[in-house]
Structure 1
Amino acid sequence: MACAAGIAAAQQSPTAPTAKTLSPQDADLAWQKATAKFAPQRQAILSRVAKHMNDGPFRNDWASLQHYSSPQWYDDAKFGIFIHWGVYSVPAFGSEWYSRNMYQQSMPDFAHHVATYGPQSKFGYKDFIPMFKAEHFDPQAWAKLFKDAGARYVVPVAEHHDGFAMYNSQLSEWTAVKMGPHRDVIGELEKAVRADGMRFGVSSHRAEHDWFFDGGRQFDSDVNDPRYAGLYGPAEAHMAKDDQNLADDWTYVSQAWLDDWLARTAELIDDYHPDLIYFDWWIGHPTFRNTLPKMLAYYYNEGAKRDGVVVNYKLGDFAEGAGTLDIERGQLTGIHPTHWQTDTSISNASWGYIKNDTYKSPKELIHLLVDVVSKNGNLQLNIGPRADGTIPEDAQKVLLAMGGWLKTNGDAIYGSKPWRTFGEGPTEVVGGTFQDTKTKPYTAEDFRFTTKNGALCAIELGWPEGGKAVIHSIKPDDHVRAVSLLANGQRVEWQQQPDGLHLSLPAQPVGDYAYVYRIELAQ
């Protein structure tokens, strides 16, 4: 509790500065001064990266990295769990961006913070850290839930934009080991997840931390206190017309920041050996272009000694093919030639836990999973635990319902491949990022297709009236031999006609959200 006491004592200091407009260079120097004590450890990691980044089939250049392909374990996994959990779970308001928005004077989070906790000069983001106790965090129980949900890999956020490391970093004093829970959250989860036979990854959002607290520079707040620069970072003025259009982003990024980002990422690689690393969008900023290949070569060559690793990136952030494309809260409209991923949250308003959030239905998420898998993709589904380490009961129910469906129908998902077409039917998704709320509900005329072990799986996204269905994509020359319901093995009556495969279905399986027909075709 010494760290909490130190924070409280610093709050009472009469010398804390007020609003301070710093030049980009001065803001960066203030951060460098606050983290100078970690320079030897940082340099040791950077030297190790420089020495070993080319030890393997990859080199630290984009041409070499474009020979990457996702490993078989990942292509077969199809379904993973994402976890946004951190200090931002304490206020439980707005979203996981509360750490930024509480300093943005035009945001509801700002007004809420002042009304609830007082002015940011007296109670800043750092003051939530002692309240983040994680007293009910049970990594073994979490792992069991994720396995029962049917997940094959688990990816907690190791560090969000807020700069608070959820792991035992030797490059910062602002970590979950030294403050708050006083536990290595990432290390404990790694052991529990792997003990249950799942793959383990980490997510790093540190790149954005360079500017995340810039709003606190504009008024009297604790962001301006140099004693907290190790947490708040440079807090550079974020100069972007559109956060997603990095070509218009003029935010200052120093070489010192890039070096620190590389060292912290390599630290995660060396200490936790993740099977997957997920990066948020800002690593696509042009200043990262020369640093990224070093990290990728180092990580891919380390993974080549095992059975391969994955790096998820947003469109345009990497040279095409140098990693695994992630479409945030969105989908693709057709089969992608290489494996890809979508990530979305089980809740509707936020990635992190907030009070009174609502949750997507199991049916909606199973249909999303089926559509994505039919197009050669994976679904990484996010949950947001409460600050005390409990997972909301509504989220648990959704996960277990998905797991129930996968237990009986998973043979159409895990280890499957796309067919010659992803599907048929009247319902089309809107392609691109942040489009997941624009998709209309599927109907019984909507089918998605996968293949496995020589069989075709046709997944109907609704039960047809009268128990009669037609799959138009199956032509007369496809030579069907047998059809059965995958969930219970029941035989399905069928006829091939010029307009497709006609099915006369048995009784509707109880409690299913999508219906899988295993179709044997003549070789």
Structure 2
Amino acid sequence: MNRIMKFATRTLIAACFFCALGFSPAVEAQDAASGFQANQYPEVYAPDWESLGKHGSAPEWLNDAKLGIYFHWGPYSVPAYRTEWYPRWMHMSKPKSWGAGTKEYHEKHYGPIDEFGYHHFIPMFTAEHFDPEKWADLFQSAGARFAGPVAQHHDGFSMWDSKINPNNAKAEGPQRDVTGELLAALRDRGMKTITTFHHSFTGQRQRDGQPDGERALSYYRYDKNLFTSSDDPKLRKLYGNMPEEEFNEYWLSLVQEVVDEYSPDMIWFDSWLDVIPEEYRQRMAAHHFNAGEHRGKEVALICKQEDMPDDLRVLDIEQGGMKDMPDRVWMTDITLSASGWCYVQNQKYKPLPLLVRNMIDVWSKRGVVLLNVSPRADGVIPDEQLDRLKGLGQWMEMYGEAVYGTRPHSIYGYGEAAIKDGSHGGQAATIQYSAKDVRFTRSADGKSIYVFLLGQPTPGEEITIKHLADGNNDDLAVATVSQLGADSDCEWTFDEGVLSLTAPPATDSNAIATVFKVVIQ
């Protein structure tokens, strides 16, 4: 009997023994291809779509949370040139405008790519100023109810103490378990946790019809003269240079390792999850959901496009939002920066009012915001980002009552803003709103409606708010109207379904968004 069969037999015997005693322990099942032993939790959800669909998509706590923070941080933060896709573009001679000039920049500053590969940046990724306690405090003070790292980006580098991937933050570079340390600090503050995975694009896949040596849907350019084709046991995992079936097992094992070792409340997947065969996606989801059941946790799975069925995942729209209000919770991941996700030289940032107003639009449409931060390679979060996080936290502290734990109104709102298409679906995350644009949320008990003006109204002008009543409560009666965060009383009337207000003095309104609370009789 070989080693794997012996292990399986011992596992089965142990499981039967514990079950006979009334226990349902999580045991380990070994993956023959990688040697990784994933916990085999009691099967509440089988790895098929019908069974997994019974899990549901978003837990209520995620619907309540509204705001989370994550960060793109890794060896690509060392060159800090143009984009976090530097590892890909440094291998391309004539890429599109997105990555144009990266190879030339690399060779000028670091040397030829056949001598200085991406892996040579790893020892330079020192993260000496990384402080998980300060980061957790920062994210919480900014108003986030959940947070976590990009656990592994397309570049193939793991930000945790991985026993599967030797290219990881504990073994080299920072020599810190970034994921483990940060998630522990977040939990100490009562926050939920998220880990994100982008590595489905790392594997070098050859497709039918491609010339020999060509790879389609692959992050790294395959070239027999470059490190990307290395058969070195360590480098082939960084560059994804392995047969597809082996890579699929490797991909799954990495996700399972994080679920087993760190118990994140959410796992989130970037685009290209659909290149992973259905069987592996089902196994991944079942493992995550069963782990949650075993631990007594309500967990969530988030991904983009149509990569998983709606009844078991939360849909994410990158850098955008919904044009209308869907019937289920969704998410958008957006940046503090004007473009790009990791820290880069001469980085530009969105103005805070633009950022918050677009968040309010998301919240009014049953959405959740995942905000990206971009630390430098040394672990310092730049002042421009700190200032925006501080401003966001101050706004949330004043108006959080109208955000956290709320539910949608009968309509999300109305207004005059020109809606632009987003680059990844839906609408853009940089819509220019004004005080003429109105958004609504409702308290969970339905007794209060919150009215957001996405700008600062002119003091003394008359403001008319429509659509407070809907088809289910045409006889709605207003008891009180107050302005959140202000000491002065509101002058108002409510007649034939229209609320009329006198705009408050500038000292009592908010330059970002002014919020009124309407209590219903």
Q: State the TM-score bracket (shorter-chain normalisation).
A: 0.7 to 0.9
SS of the counterpart of 1:110?
helix
Q: Which residue of 2 aligns with 1:326?
A: 316
Q: Which residue of 1 aligns with 2:198?
A: 205
Assess if the C-alpha contact under 8 Å between 1:327 and 1:342 holds in 2.
yes
Q: Which residue of 1 aligns with 2:452?
A: 459
**Inter-CA distance 213–434: structure 2 relative to 1 (3 Å threshold):** closer
Q: Deviations over 1:185-227 (max 9, x none)?
A: 1111111111122111111112111038765434742223322
Alignment of 1:52-451 (within 5 A): 52=41, 55-56=43-44, 58-67=45-54, 68-106=56-94, 107-211=100-204, 216-218=221-223, 220-227=225-232, 229-235=235-241, 254-285=244-275, 287-304=276-293, 305-427=295-417, 429-430=419-420, 433-434=423-424, 437=428, 439-451=430-442
Which range is displaced more, 276-285 or 486-495?
486-495
Q: Which residue of 2 aligns with 1:9?
A: none
In 2, distance between residues paired with 1:302 and 1:427?
A: 44
**Inter-CA distance 365–200: structure 2 relative to 1 (3 Å threshold):** same
Residue 60 of structure 1 deviates from its aligned partner by: 1.2
**Inter-CA distance 309–215: structure 2 relative to 1 (3 Å threshold):** closer
Q: Which residue of 2 aligns with 1:14?
A: none
SS of the counterpart of 1:135?
coil
Assess if the C-alpha contact under 8 Å between 2:167 and 2:238 holds in 1.
no
SS of the counterpart of 1:217?
coil
TM-score, normalised to structure 1's length? 0.84
SS of the counterpart of 2:195?
strand
Alignment of 1:21-32 (within 5 A): none
> What one-letter code is carried by the residue in structure 1 that aligns with 2:58?
S
In 2, distance between residues paired with 1:267 and 1:438?
A: 33
**Inter-CA distance 190–108: structure 2 relative to 1 (3 Å threshold):** same
SS of the counterpart of 2:408?
strand
Residue 442 of structure 1 deviates from its aligned partner by: 0.9
In 2, distance between residues paired with 1:506 and 1:39?
A: 65
SS of the counterpart of 1:326?
strand
Assess if the C-alpha contact under 8 Å between 2:422 and 2:428 holds in 1.
no
Assess if the C-alpha contact under 8 Å between 1:131 and 1:180 holds in 2.
yes
Q: Which residue of 1 aligns with 2:37?
A: 45
In 2, distance between residues paired with 1:366 and 1:97?
A: 27
Residue 111 of structure 1 deviates from its aligned partner by: 1.0
> What one-letter code is carried by the residue in structure 1 that aligns with 2:462?
K
In 2, distance between residues paired with 1:478 and 1:199?
A: 37
TM-score, normalised to structure 2's length? 0.84
**Inter-CA distance 219–467: structure 2 relative to 1 (3 Å threshold):** farther
**Inter-CA distance 59–485: structure 2 relative to 1 (3 Å threshold):** same
In 2, distance between residues paired with 1:361 and 1:197?
A: 30
In 2, distance between residues paired with 1:191 and 1:350?
A: 28
SS of the counterpart of 2:273?
helix
In 1, distance between residues paired with 2:316 and 2:121?
A: 32
SS of the counterpart of 1:389?
coil
In 1, distance between residues paired with 2:36 and 2:337?
A: 41
Q: Which residue of 2 aligns with 1:16?
A: none
Q: Which residue of 2 aligns with 1:27?
A: none
Residue 343 of structure 1 deviates from its aligned partner by: 0.6
- Of 489, 492, 508, which aligns to 2:490? 492
Matched residues, number: 463
In 2, distance between residues paired with 1:355 and 1:273?
A: 35
Residue 410 of structure 1 deviates from its aligned partner by: 0.2
**Inter-CA distance 296–271: structure 2 relative to 1 (3 Å threshold):** same
In 2, distance between residues paired with 1:78 and 1:383?
A: 17
Q: Which residue of 2 aligns with 1:25?
A: none
What is the percent sequence identity of the aligned residues? Answer: 34
Q: Which residue of 2 aligns with 1:506?
A: 504
Assess if the C-alpha contact under 8 Å between 1:331 and 1:431 holds in 2.
no
Residue 295 of structure 1 deviates from its aligned partner by: 1.2
SS of the counterpart of 1:419?
coil
Residue 300 of structure 1 deviates from its aligned partner by: 1.1
Q: Which residue of 2 aligns with 1:23?
A: none
**Inter-CA distance 39–131: structure 2 relative to 1 (3 Å threshold):** farther
Unaligned 5+ segments in structure 1 are 1-37, 237-252
Assess if the C-alpha contact under 8 Å between 1:120 and 1:220 holds in 2.
no
Q: Which residue of 2 aligns with 1:3?
A: none
In 2, distance between residues paired with 1:234 and 1:151?
A: 34
In 2, distance between residues paired with 1:438 and 1:214?
A: 26
In 2, distance between residues paired with 1:201 and 1:224?
A: 32
Assess if the C-alpha contact under 8 Å between 2:161 and 2:170 holds in 1.
yes
Residue 44 of structure 1 deviates from its aligned partner by: 4.5
- Higher relative contact order by CA 8 Å / sep ≥ 6: 1 or 2? 1
In 2, distance between residues paired with 1:390 and 1:96?
A: 17
Q: Which residue of 2 aligns with 1:243?
A: none
In 1, distance between residues paired with 2:199 and 2:429?
A: 30
Unaligned 5+ segments in structure 2 are 1-29, 95-99, 205-216
Which range is displaced more, 421-430 or 221-230?
221-230
Residue 400 of structure 1 deviates from its aligned partner by: 0.6
Structure showing the higher helix proportion among its residues: 1
**Inter-CA distance 188–495: structure 2 relative to 1 (3 Å threshold):** same
SS of the counterpart of 2:130?
coil
**Inter-CA distance 153–360: structure 2 relative to 1 (3 Å threshold):** same
In 2, distance between residues paired with 1:78 and 1:422?
A: 15
In 2, distance between residues paired with 1:366 and 1:74?
A: 19
